[in-house]
A = this chain, B = another copy of it.
Amino acid sequence: MKAVVYKGPKDIAVEQRPDPTVQSPLDAIIKITTTNICGSDLHMYEGRTSVEEGKILGHENMGVVEEVGSGVGRIKVGDRVSVPFNIACGTCRNCTGGWTSFCLRTNPKEGMDGAAYGYADMGPYDGGQAEFLRIPYADFNLLHLPQGTEHETDFTMLSDIFPTGFHGAVLAEVGIGDRVAVYGAGPVGLMAAHSAFLLGASQVFVVDKVPDRLELAQAYGATAIDFSQGDPIEQIMDATDGNGVDCGVEAVGYQAHDATGEEHPELVLDGLVNVVRAAGAIGVVGVYPPADPGASNEGAKEGRIAWQYGTFFTKGQRMRTGQAPVKRYNRQLRDLIITGVAKPGKIVSHEVGLDEAVDAYDKFDCRVDGYTKVLLHP
């Protein structure tokens, strides 16, 4: 089969690779119909991770079941399915508690909970930017979709980006009538804004400086806060009569930049602590790694981010973090897509064939031509 293979920094190739096969009674093989390039794929593409050369990339996958192992019963050949990016065993303590993002069994690396397809440090699993993909623990992991091809663009958001944005809103405890601040209008931030409204928010502020993204935020009903036009904290406080928001979502991560383009890993956390009310909640889905050798200061190299923790405590705020357990939300979000209540596919900017992956990575990495979210169709 054809597959997108990591060769080295800024070097990927579409290569011929052996078809995956059933290796355990619990495996399934799916034929990929759509697989997305994620912003986090660019971390690997840019050479900022320890991902192995030769690995097939791609953790946002959907398709049709081609073959199942002898212990697979819920999932049948021919089923159309969405594949959560987390690879979860379904029987360990974390999986049965709903924390598939911290599965204790699928990642062989010592002290590392949680696995994923085609990703650095997340276990020895190939990704789905290919014609076929092997799915461990298929009965547990796969989500049924309605047969056919309808809603493909929306459904393909169910493997990662929509549940991840939704998780951000849940971690922030968005509730009925709340005013919410979302930092970051990339795909995850946009999905968090969409999710906040699905959870009953009355108003959602989205902070970014890229006009295209802020327009998409507005298309989801959010209020755009352009931080290149002034301090976003002041803008939000002014728009809320000085009260601030009830809760906030971090969808940027450690590579936060100020309006001048300088990197400040504490910038977004500080912003949220200041705009969120006393006793309010903050959900963090933007990534902060345990170590960041390339950071600008000694603390940040060890993952120590010197944000305004004293203010956070004094305001009695709370913060929840981490990778989304996709399975906790994807069924419900699928049903909202089916009835037309949710429309995550609006953010897709480009759809191309697998053969065009090299070009698509390059353009997405350079953010040219309005590349926001790219789908590959093998």
Which residues does A use to contact B, with CB under 8 Å? 24-26, 69-71, 73-74, 89-94, 96-99, 101-102, 105, 113-114, 139-140, 166, 171, 175-179, 197-203, 254, 266, 269, 278-279, 284, 287-292, 299, 302-323, 327, 329, 331-336, 338-339, 341
Contacts A91-B140, A96-B327: A322 and B315 contacting too (C-beta < 8 A)? yes
Choose from B197, B279, B287, B315 the contact partner of A341 (Cβ within 8 Å): B197
Q: List 22 A-B contacts (CB under 8 A).
A: A69-B71, A73-B89, A74-B105, A94-B278, A96-B327, A101-B279, A113-B315, A176-B333, A177-B331, A179-B335, A200-B200, A269-B309, A289-B313, A289-B314, A290-B311, A303-B308, A304-B307, A305-B309, A307-B309, A313-B322, A316-B323, A318-B319
Q: For A176, list chain B residues within 8 Å (CB).
A: 166, 198-199, 329, 332-333, 336
Q: Inside 8 A of A96's CB, which chain B residues have their CB?
A: 90, 140, 327
Complex Cα distance A102/B246, Å? Answer: 14
Task: Name which residue of chain B comes closest to A266, CB basis.
Answer: B304
Nearest residue (CB) in B for A195 is B176
Residue from the list B94, B304, B327, B336 in contact with A309, Cβ < 8 A: B304
Whether the Cβ atoms of B317 and A321 lie closer than 8 Å is yes
> CA A90 – CA B74 in complex, angstroms?
10
**Chain B residues within 8 Å of A305, by CB:** 306, 309-310
Contacts of A322 in B (CB 8 A): 278-279, 313-317
- Which residues does chain B contribute within 8 Å of A69, judged by CB atoms? 25, 71
Q: Flag if B313 contacts A284 (CB, 8 Å).
A: yes
**What residue of chain B has the Cβ atom nearest to residue A169's Cβ?**
B176
A338 to B241, CA, bound (A): 14
Other than the given A101-B316, A307-B309, 5 more pairs (CB < 8 A) read A74-B89, A93-B331, A177-B334, A305-B306, A316-B322
- Cβ distance A364 to chain B, nearest Cβ, rounded Å: 24
A302 → chain B closest CB, angstroms: 7
In the complex the two chains form, is A202's CB within 8 Å of B335's CB? yes
Residues of B within 8 A of A299 (CB): 299, 306
Of B199, B292, B310, B335, which one neighbours A310 at CB under 8 angstroms?
Answer: B292
- A139 to chain B: which residues have CB within 8 Å? 89-91
- A26: chain B residues at CB < 8 Å are 25, 71
- A312-B302 contact, Cβ under 8 Å, with A71-B24, A198-B200, A335-B177: no
A278 to B101, CA, bound (A): 10
- Contact between chains at B177 and A336 (CB < 8 Å): yes
Interface centre among A89, A105, A339 (most CB of B within 10 A): A339
Of B93, B99, B177, B341, which one neighbours A316 at CB under 8 angstroms?
A: B99
Partner of A287, one of B99, B203, B313: B313
Select A203's contact among B175, B197, B339, beta carbons within 8 Å: B339
**A336 near B304 (CB under 8 angstroms)?**
no
List the 4 shortest-distance A-B pairs measured between CB atoms, nearest first.
A303-B310, A316-B322, A177-B332, A71-B71
Residues of B within 8 A of A99 (CB): 278-279, 316
Q: Among B71, B312, B331, B338, which residue has its beta carbon within 8 angstroms of that of A321?
A: B312
